Amino acid sequence: MLWLKAFHVIAMVTWFAGLFYIPRLFVYHADATDLVSSNRFKIMERRLFILMNIGAGATLLFGISMIVAAPGYLQLAWLQVKFALVAVLIAYHVLCGKLVRAFAENRNSRSAKWFRAFNEVPSLLLIAIIILAIVKPF
């Protein structure tokens, strides 16, 4: 079980690295005015999103593996709340994918200011998820 947990955390760190960085790329991309910069950001966003998908998939795989190994944990309230927050995180990830596609197709309609606010969401989710997993407040 500890090996699964270790790999779950490693994958989660990989996933969150992408979730923290891709909105910053969106900020810079939204501010880009020349074609060369825009094309560079499109490549960076696409490649980063591929790595994010790998991190997300591995995080979910190891998380599900831990539940399969110890199904009794499903009864714990803190874990149920964590699952709800992970669902929000997955929705955020999917939205990032849609934004990558929008930029790739030159149809982004959001401002750099909006992306700066959007950038804060994964930080708040990470804080809540870690507190739930470590402190287990209920």
| Number of structural domains in the chain | 1
**Spatial separation of the C-alpha atoms in residues 74 and 67, rounded to whole Å:** 7
* Distance (Å, whole) CA 53 – CA 26: 17
pLDDT on residue 47: 98
Query: What is the 3-state secondary structure of the chain?
Result: CHHHHHHHHHHHHHHHHHHHHHHHHHHHHHHCCCHHHHHHHHHHHHHHHHHHHHHHHHHHHHHHHHHHHCHHHHHCHHHHHHHHHHHHHHHHHHHHHHHHHHHHCCCCCCCHHHHHHHCCHHHHHHHHHHHHHHHCCC
Which residue range(s) make up the domain with 92? 2-135
Chain-centroid distance of CA 91 in Å reads 9
State the pTM of this model.
Answer: 0.95
Amino acid at 114: W
**How confident is the model over 25-60, as pLDDT tens digits?**
999 999 999 999 999 999 999 999 999 999 999 999
d(CA 36, CA 4): 43
pLDDT value of residue 20: 98
Q: What is the mean pLDDT of residues 114-118?
A: 98
115-126: average pLDDT:
98
- pLDDT tens-digit series, residues 57-110: 999 999 999 999 999 999 999 999 999 999 999 999 999 999 999 999 999 999
